[in-house]
Amino acid sequence: MKPLKIVFAGTPEFARLAYKAILDAGFDVPLVMTQPDRPAGRGMKLQASPVKQEALVQGVEVIQPLSLRLDGKYPEEAAQAKKVLESLQPDVMVVAAYGLILPQWVLDLPKYGCLNIHASLLPRWRGAAPIQRAIEAGDEQTGIGIMQMAIGLDTGDVLLEKTQKIDMQTAAQLHDQLAQLGAQGIVDVLKQLGTGKLTPIPQSEEGVTYAAKLEKSEGKLSWDLPVLTLWRKIRAFNPVPGVVLPLPGLDEPVKVWQAQVLHQTVNVAPGTVVAMSAEGIDVAAADGVLRIQELQKAGGKRQIARDFINGWKG
């Protein structure tokens, strides 16, 4: 069997790890597709995506169309991308957190279609933010799926799954674990592609959930929520959009980076500080106590609770 000719489409660090794993496994990736450079940092200078940065190190051609829809807002860019892909005639396209919708002509162009690395156990958490929504919902496990892409939102047949237990990870920590699993998984699938050893498994129509895009407003919380809900959201929204909560004596809410649930009940109003120590700031929620261990004032730096308490004028 001749070597696969692969196009890789992805943008953030999650995708870069998969792209690098494919290269390290010896596959031929003559073309990378990624999002256009975006302003970033204090100077808001244009910055290439992690995938583009890796491709440039490898000396691989990169294209960055604003759209792939031939009837969309940028038809000329889509048509140019189509010309490039048709001239290349790839065997397969690997897609990981690319950020553009793939129209039918893209799905049909490669010999083996388009494979997506999705960070959930489908059909649970189709959509934009599967890692964060799994933590927020209190799921006990999640994982990655290598999926044969179809025109619907994450509806294609699953070729491979790898599971990951959810303990007390933040979204950032779980992201890194799933990125590694995804990188391993796509290499496993590519090695078997065209051999007849892969069995596509249609997704169940039961248990479908959607992982809606994160909104900044979701991080503005109150102490009237159950303590488990607060704890899960703090982990799910770390690092973005972040959770902010009010504390007595402070004009603005603080960003809470790390916390734990204390298994105790107190007969005080939600939002009451019930104890402070080197271990944390204990605050009453609707049905229990949350210990804040790491936090940040607006415009300030992240601090462990002990250091924050020493400078607290509340």
Per the annotation, does 122 bind a ligand?
A: yes
The answer to whether the beta carbons of residues 144 and 150 sit under 8 Å apart is no
The answer to whether the beta carbons of residues 295 and 312 sit under 8 Å apart is no
Q: Among candidates 281, 299, 174, which has minimal Cα distance to 237?
A: 174
Per the annotation, does 65 bind a ligand?
A: no
Pinpoint the alpha helices (H) of 214-280: 227-236
State how far the Cα of 44 lies from the Cα of 57, in Å rounded to an integer: 23
Q: How far is CA 297 from CA 84, 307, 312, in A?
A: 49, 12, 10
State how far the Cα of 233 lies from the Cα of 255, in Å rounded to an integer: 12
State how far the Cα of 50 lies from the Cα of 31, in Å rounded to an integer: 15
The answer to whether the beta carbons of residues 299 and 272 sit under 8 Å apart is no
> Three-state SS for 227?
helix
Q: From edge to edge, which strands make up the β-sheet containing 5-10? A: 61-63, 28-33, 5-10, 92-96, 114-118, 141-148, 158-165
Per the annotation, does 120 bind a ligand?
A: yes
Show Cβ contacts of residue 274 under 8 Å, excluding neighbours closer than 6 positions: 266, 268, 282, 283, 284, 289
Residue ranges of the annotated binding site for (6S)-5,6,7,8-tetrahydrofolate are 120-123
Residue ranges of the annotated binding site are 120-123
